[in-house]
Structure 1
Amino acid sequence: MFAFYLANGTLDMELLEDIDYRPALMQFGSPLEMVFTIFTNVLEIDENGLVINEGDAQVRAAQWIRHYCDPSYVVDPPFQPWETELAGP
């Protein structure tokens, strides 16, 4: 669902209400890659393979998008290094 909301322009409507983030993210690959990095790094899955915090992961990704599109927006709490760390090969 996350990718659907992201591509549809309806990810976290309250936080991103007046921001059309899609052109900014789709212009270059790195911003979109960071959105998915944050989402998947924050996402937690229980021992049964069920996602237990999709909403939290969506909010953190939306905060990054908001800051990317509006540098005056302050992410609270600030991102931790593990949230933005890209997985290597």
Structure 2
Amino acid sequence: MEHLPVDVRASLRFFAFYLANGTLELDLLDGIDYRPRLMAFGSTLEQVFALYANVLCVNEHGEVLNAGDAEYRAAQWIRAHCDPSYEVEPPFAPWETELHGP
């Protein structure tokens, strides 16, 4: 595969837009201005994108199957990062938070 499928690229674009716009999963993150905390250190934002990409499922045709689930899990990580009293349910599995690359 030379490029990511169009559906995957669109899903990533919308995720980045909602994240940067402060409108990611409003039911879970309403009233929490998470953006300054994510931008303070690159590794925090890196973890959010890694979690989103790790949870995202794509079928054999390159169509995204669970963008909403991936967004929600990333939002749960953000909420837990900003609100230590928040308990992630279900807890993150190691594969969800794994960072890939060199």
Q: Identify which of 35, 41, 45 aligns with 1:28.
A: 41
How far did residue 18 of structure 1 move? 1.1
Query: Corresponding residue for 1:46?
Result: 59
TM-score, normalisation: structure 2: 0.86
Question: Which structure has greater helix proportion?
Answer: 2
3-state SS of 1:79 partner:
coil
**Paired residues, number:** 89
3-state SS of 1:88 partner:
coil
Query: Corresponding residue for 2:74?
Result: 61
TM-score, normalisation: structure 1: 0.99
Query: Distance between the aligned counterparts of 2:17 and 2:93, measured in 1?
Result: 26
Structure ID, larger Rg = 2
Query: Distance between the aligned counterparts of 1:74 and 1:30, measured in 2?
Result: 21
Runs of 4+ deviating beyond 4 Å: none
The amino acid across from 2:40 in the alignment is: Q
Unaligned runs of 5+ in 1: none
RMSD (Å) for aligned C-alpha atoms: 0.4
Unaligned runs of 5+ in 2: 1-13
